Structure 1
Amino acid sequence: MRCMDLGGRYRLERRLGRGAMGEVWRALDLRLDRPVAVKLMAPSSGSEARRFLREGRLAARINHPGVTTVFDVDRHGRRLFIVMELLNGRDLGAVIRDHADGLELSEVFEIGRRLAEALSAAHVLGIVHRDLKPGNIVILDDGTVKICDFGIARALDVTRITRTGLTVGTPAYMAPEQFGGAAVDRRADLYSLGCVLYELCTGRVPFPAANIAQAMYGHLSAPPPSPRTGDRDLDALVLSLLAKDPARRPQHANEVARWLRELGKDHRSTRPLLDLCDATFRSLLDAAIERQDHEAAALLREQEKVYLRMRQALER
């Protein structure tokens, strides 16, 4: 399918990824001469196509820096596609995999706040994501946090769900009410946000499961374990988001954003200062080696050992 044109406007150049919902391609918008991302869905029926196009148009109404901009939705034969801004960065799942024990709390507060603000912008328009997860969140090279795929989960069509016995969403991050196929509202997104925050804090999801049955049991029946971050207020917020009953969760994403903003004020990141110390040690050591000052180099290496122990303690 290389260099295939969609609708005579979008030229597919390189496949970037493939998932359960379809393929993502880097493409060229021939009319505007700009690179874009195209999500090309699996072949769909007429009713599914109409639903997808309707939901895609709704998603295009969201205007927020934390939400991937949707430029166009259309179909090519029986295949639906959505055209979005092309993002340069890493998905949050890859970031989490690099931090097996969780991220620094300062980063948890910052990423969580930005996610909550982006959700709030969608919820104000009556748009619910329904499949918030690290794989649908991208951290751009400049640190911007972007949520992708608004509207796609709903657009997959309830009729297909009931036919196959599946549910819309990803089991590890789904709210209890989603497992029954019932109508959901913004509070389902807040539950999913709680799952993402839990994973940011700990490096693991709140209810690890080998199959959908185990996932259902965890979300429907098991009490959520505390993330034990060392910050009791953050632990309480995450657990409140993971409440089984939607009425017992925070009711609005902007509330969650405000709490994360306030809690984060006491957790300034030490990483920039520590990175500067790393660079300083390396520069001094290189200079000592270059001038063959073995005594100074040996002293710097001993000092570096002490510093590294201090850094490890600060980053716990």
Structure 2
Amino acid sequence: MSELISNRYEVLSQIGIGGSGAIFTAIDTFLGEKVAIKKILLDDDDQIERLKRECFFLQTVNHPNLVKAYEFFIENDRAYMVLEFINGRSLDNIIHKNKRSMTLVGQLAIASQIARGIEVLNMGGIIHRDIKPQNIMLNTQTGEIKVVDLGTAKNLTNEFSPLTVRGAVVGTYCYMSPEQTNSKVTQTTDIFSLGILLHQFFTWSDDSPFYTKSIFHTLDKIRHEEVVDICELIDMDSVTEKQQQAYQKISKILKKALHKDPNMRWENAGTMADMFTEIRQPLLNEVQQNPLKYRIETSRQISPRLRKELQQMRSEYSSVDHES
């Protein structure tokens, strides 16, 4: 007999381990819909508070490039958050299983949506801290990109916030920013990680450009070495003139995003989203084939109303963190 949570959610299977606990698929027996459930044990007050805030943030924002949250509750010494189930694939899966099958137009649309999701998080005072292909999901029914798993997220209250959980560095090593490798986060930490992810995506590389088999060598590369320009990794002779121009512009965007100095990066991911959308426009008239069979559009700018809500949430998070 399958497990029934909260007298409502029938657990189907475990689908992964998130930043703060296990994640399961389940059926909402009230609505007959599939959902995802994140579960953590009640042995860490910080994790419980983080999960509660994550749920509140996602419920309040309800942005198309962030996963939807339905409810948070505690039952039998465990904390649960119920999320929408995304019927789709991770960017990691697309990179490895459909290498070079997506057009540059599709890539730019995805890049724009990822950047927009990160902009919403950062504007609301949330630093994700674990931006990587596995945490980017594509809904294959709607073409929407979702930034998922805020389990390692940090409420940003000042320029440099601690980045430790029980003394450990938080994040995935080969997608970290230089300051993250030294247990710090800044307002542009996610920008650097986004730059790494997109460098890998636009070049269809199997791994992060900083990846090595040695963790220490990887961290050293992140701190001191520059990535290879994407234009040197792409066969520019095999693409059209418009695509060449697009890659050159993308290269400049990524170079700034990957600056070692946090203050020299783009101030927010929304600027990157807008630029990817602009670069994409001249390519739309070219004949494009989409083997993945679904349409992917670029993101829309944040509305003034949502912008105001995010600024308010950022202030509230800051007040709570300073009081605690």
Which band: TM-score by shorter chain?
A: 0.7 to 0.9
Which TM-score applies when normalising by structure 1?
Answer: 0.76
Aligned to 2:318: none
> Does the Cα contact within 8 Å between 1:71 and 1:85 map onto a contact in 2?
yes
- Residue in 2 that maps onto 1:235: 251
Matches within 5 A, 1:127-142: 127-142=126-141
CA displacement at 1:41 relative to structure 2? 3.1
Report the residue type matching 1:263 in the other structure.
I
CA RMSD of aligned residues (A): 2.9
Matched, 1:106 2:109: no
CA displacement at 1:85 relative to structure 2: 0.4
The answer to whether residue 274 in structure 2 is matched with residue 258 in structure 1 is yes
**Cα distance change of structure 1 residues 221 and 74 upon mapping to structure 2, 3 Å threshold:** farther
Aligned counterpart, 2:174: 172
Structure 1 gaps of 5+ residues are 277-316
The whole-number CA distance in structure 2 between the counterparts of 1:53 and 1:274 is: 40
Does structure 1 residue 184 correspond to structure 2 residue 186?
yes
What TM-score results when the alignment is normalised by the length of structure 2?
0.74
User: Any idea what SS the aligned residue of 1:64 has?
Assistant: coil
Q: Contact 1:102 / 1:200 at 8 angstroms: preserved in 2?
A: no
SS of aligned partner of 2:23: strand
**Does structure 2 conserve the Cα–Cα contact (< 8 Å) formed by 1:103 and 1:202?**
no
Task: Give the corresponding residue for 2:225.
Answer: 222
- Correspondence list, 1:208-219, <5 A: 208-219=211-222
Q: Could you tell me how far apart the structure 2 residues matched to 1:243 and 1:222 are?
A: 10
> Is contact 1:172-1:215 (8 Å) kept?
yes
Aligned length: 271
Query: Does 2:108 align with 1:90?
Result: no
Secondary structure of 1:153 counterpart? coil
Cα deviations across residues 64-106 of structure 1 (Å, max 9, x unaligned)? Answer: 1111101122333443332110111111100000244685322
Tell me, yes or no, if the aligned pair for 1:13 and 1:26 is still in contact at 8 Å.
Answer: yes
Displacement after TM superposition at 1:58 (Å): 2.6
Q: Which structure shows the bigger proportion of residues in helix conformation?
A: 1
Distance change >3 Å, CA 14–CA 127, structure 1 → 2: same
Percent identity between matched residues is 25
Alpha-carbon offset, residue 40 of structure 1: 2.2
Alpha-carbon distance in structure 2 between the residues aligned to 1:109 and 1:190? 16
Change (3 A) 1:168 1:61: farther
1:136-175 to 2 correspondence within 5 Å? 136-142=135-141, 143-150=143-150, 152-154=151-153, 161-163=164-166, 165-175=167-177
Give the corresponding residue for 2:319.
Answer: none
Q: Which has the larger radius of gyration?
A: 1
Task: Tell me which of the two structures has the higher relative contact order, counting C-alpha pairs closer than 8 angstroms and 6 or more residues apart.
Answer: 2
Change (3 A) 1:77 1:225: farther
The Cα of 1:11 is off from its aligned counterpart by 2.4
Q: 1:28 to 1:114 in 2, by over 3 A?
A: same
Q: Which runs of 5+ in 2 are unaligned?
A: 156-160, 237-246, 294-324
